[in-house]
Amino acid sequence: MRAPLAAMLHLSLLCAGLLLSALACAAQYVKYVTIPAASFRTALPPDGKSASAATSTFRMRAMPVTNGEYQSFVRQHVEWRRGQVAALFADAGYLRPWAANDAFGPHLHAGQPVTHVSWFAADAYCRSEGARLPTWYEWELVAAADEQRKDARDDARWRERMLRWYSRPSTEKLAAVGKTAKNLYGVYDMHGLVWEWVEDFTGIMVSTDNREQGDPDLRKFCGAGAIAVGDRENYAVQMRLALLSSLQAAYTTGNLGFRCVRETREKAS
């Protein structure tokens, strides 16, 4: 009778092992959703006037990167730990609210979006996940959607809702990801949670005096120069552009996090 018992013991251990590894895999599973190729009206026309923007099919992270995920990243990649990173790649505010160089600590939650990260850090994280930062057009396309529509931007009431976030002071505790309404694509938190880095934020060449519109100093800028921002009634998008254009790649600040995108395996038609 002893042999079958031993066999059962081995079998149950094997099952337990499989279950644990499955759970471990689940913990590493990050949800990306497919965003089909599109042509759409943009606040930053590619011809500087009124042309539409175009994006190929890509996959976007359903939620911003969290404290928990970023903690795993810095534990595996020592060169991105606070205290190790060169000033060139992250300024003095890098992960400032974290309790330790590699731990966000008890007063922050694993589910909150990670903030106080620079563009270089965000880029490095995305690459570690086989991804990259979204371009402004990719981000803008997905942000235009609400729960029912691909493009809710002409709805004045929707625009007011988007503006609400800016009315709330920043000293409120940051909510966890995945709590604000899922939009039509299945992407959460495009509004109302944090600002997000984009890959080409240095291409948002609006004049720092935002009242100069389309009147560039041609010796400072090659090409069409500073871009006039369209969509002037959409204050929420204007504020996003203003914030992104105020940053440099090494900057970190509260309220600024990021998410990643991946290419699709299919070719764009």
Partner 1 sequence: MFVRALVVVMVAMVAMLTLAACGKKGDGSTDSVSGVSDTGGSAKGDFGPPQGEPIKAVLTSPPNVPPPTLRDKPAKVIVDLEVREIEQEISEGVRYTFWTFGGTVPGSFIRVRQGDTVEFHLKNHPDSKMPHNIDLHGVTGPGGGAASTFTAPGHESQFTFKALNQGLYVYHCATAPVGMHVANGMYGLILVEPPEGMSKVDHEYYVMQGDFYTTGKYREKGVQPFDMEKAIDEHPTYVVFNGAEGALTGDKALKAKVGETVRMYVGNGGPNLISSFHVIGEIFDKVWFEGGTRFQENVQTTLIPAGGSAIGEFRIEVPGTYILVDHSITRAFNKGAIAMLKADGPENKAIYSGKEVDAVYLAERAASNLAAVSQATKSAEAGTLTLNEQIKAGEALYAGTCSVCHQSNGEGLPGVFPPLAKSDYLLADPKRAIGAVVKGLSGKVTVNGKEYNSVMPPMAQLNDDEVANIVTYALNSWGNKGAAVSAADVKKVRAQASVASKPSE
Partner 2 sequence: MTRQRGFNAVVALLSCVISLLFGLADPAHSISAPLPPDSIYQLPVTLKDQDGKPRSMLSMRGQAQIITMIYTHCSYVCPMTIETLKAVDAQLAPDQKARLHRLLVSLDPKRDTVPVLKKMMDERQLDAKHWTLARPAPSDVRKLAAVLGIQYRQLANKEFNHSSALILLDAQGRVRARLIRLGQVDRDFVEAVKAVLGERPRP
Q: How many residues bind partner 2 (CB under 8 A)?
A: 29
Using alpha carbons only, give the angle 262, 229, 168 rounded to the nearest 5 degrees: 75
Considering only 2, 168, 265, 267, the residue that binds partner 1 (CB under 8 A) is 168
HEC assignment per residue over 56-68: CCEEEECCCCEHH
246 lines the binding site for partner 1 (CB under 8 A): yes
Name the 3-class secondary structure at 101. coil
**Smallest separation, CB 80 to partner 2 (Å):** 13
User: Residue with structure tokens 């534990």?
Assistant: 75
Q: 254 is in the binding site of which of partner 1, partner 2, none (Cβ under 5 to 8 A by kind)?
A: partner 1
Amino acid at 254: G
Widest CA span in the chain: 90
132/150 with CB nearer partner 2:
132
159 lines the binding site for partner 1 (CB under 8 A): yes
Name the 3-class secondary structure at 35. strand
Of residues 12 through 71, those in contact with partner 1 by CB under 8 A are none
Stretch 147-186: interaction string toward partner 2, x if CB under 8 A: ----------------------------------------
Considering only 171, 173, 266, 267, the residue that binds partner 1 (CB under 8 A) is 171
Of residues 53 through 92, those in contact with partner 2 by CB under 8 A are 86-89
Six-digit token string for 171: 């000293």
229 lines the binding site for partner 1 (CB under 8 A): yes
Residue 16 parent element (H or E):
helix 2-28
Residue 222 CB burial class (10 angstroms; 0-12, 13-18, ≥19): exposed
Q: 224 is in the binding site of which of partner 2, partner 1, none (Cβ under 5 to 8 A by kind)?
A: partner 2
255 lines the binding site for partner 1 (CB under 8 A): yes
Q: Please tell me the number of Cα atoms within 13 Å of 215 on its side-chain side.
A: 5
Six-digit token string for 78: 């020592």
Q: 179 is in the binding site of which of partner 2, partner 1, none (Cβ under 5 to 8 A by kind)?
A: none
Neighbours of 172 (CB within 10 A): 7
Q: Rounded to whole angstroms, how far apart are CA atoms 35 and 134? A: 12
Of residues 202 through 231, those in contact with partner 2 by CB under 8 A are 202-205, 217-225, 227
**Smallest separation, CB 232 to partner 1 (Å):** 8
252 lines the binding site for partner 1 (CB under 8 A): yes
